[in-house]
Amino acid sequence: MHKIDPAEVKQRLERLTDVCRANGLRMTHQRMEIFREVAGTGEHPDAETVFKRVRKRLPTISPDTVYRTLASLEETGLISRVDPICGRARFDANTDEHHHYICTQCRTITDIYLDPPPALPEGIENLGEVESLHLQVRGVCRNCTAR
């Protein structure tokens, strides 16, 4: 599991509190635990993984609560959805500008930072306003290649 530095997790949890307040969302124990699960790892878990892990701490939580909470966290910009071509949607609490490397064999998703950021194609402004750019690089990771 890709653990996140505890100081970073703390910052993310503080942001959760601020964003919930600003959007009129109650800070429920379920919301906090679901967000903590995504914010505390860099492995980009899917909803089922989040449910299984949170259920160990909150045995009465339902899958529906997890799905609805992940959707509301995504709507508020606290997490983003990573949609690999094959498989379930995964979730990411890293709000820094970054992209993803997805292993096509083991399905591991790794954050990548590009400096300088990729340039948009010329003339794209004719299509409309660009709000964000999400690049997914796919290949076979070193661990899978070594096997």
Kindly list the domain boundaries of the chain, sorted by start residue.
Answer: 6-91, 96-146
At residue 112, the pLDDT reads: 93
Q: Are 37 and 9 in contact (CB under 8 A)?
A: no
If one looks up domain 6-91 in CATH, what number appears? 1.10.10.10
Q: For position 1, what pLDDT does the model report?
A: 56
Q: What pTM was computed for the model?
A: 0.86
Q: What is the CATH number of domain 96-146?
A: 3.30.1490.190
Q: What is the pLDDT along the chain (147 residues), one digit of tens a residue?
A: 578 889 999 999 999 999 999 999 899 999 999 999 999 999 999 999 999 999 999 999 999 999 999 999 999 999 999 987 777 899 999 988 899 999 999 999 999 999 888 888 888 888 999 888 888 999 999 999 998
Q: Cα dihedral sign for 18, 22, 27, 32? A: negative
Alpha-carbon distance of 6 to 8, in angstroms, equals 5
Q: Are 38 and 91 in contact (CB under 8 A)?
A: yes
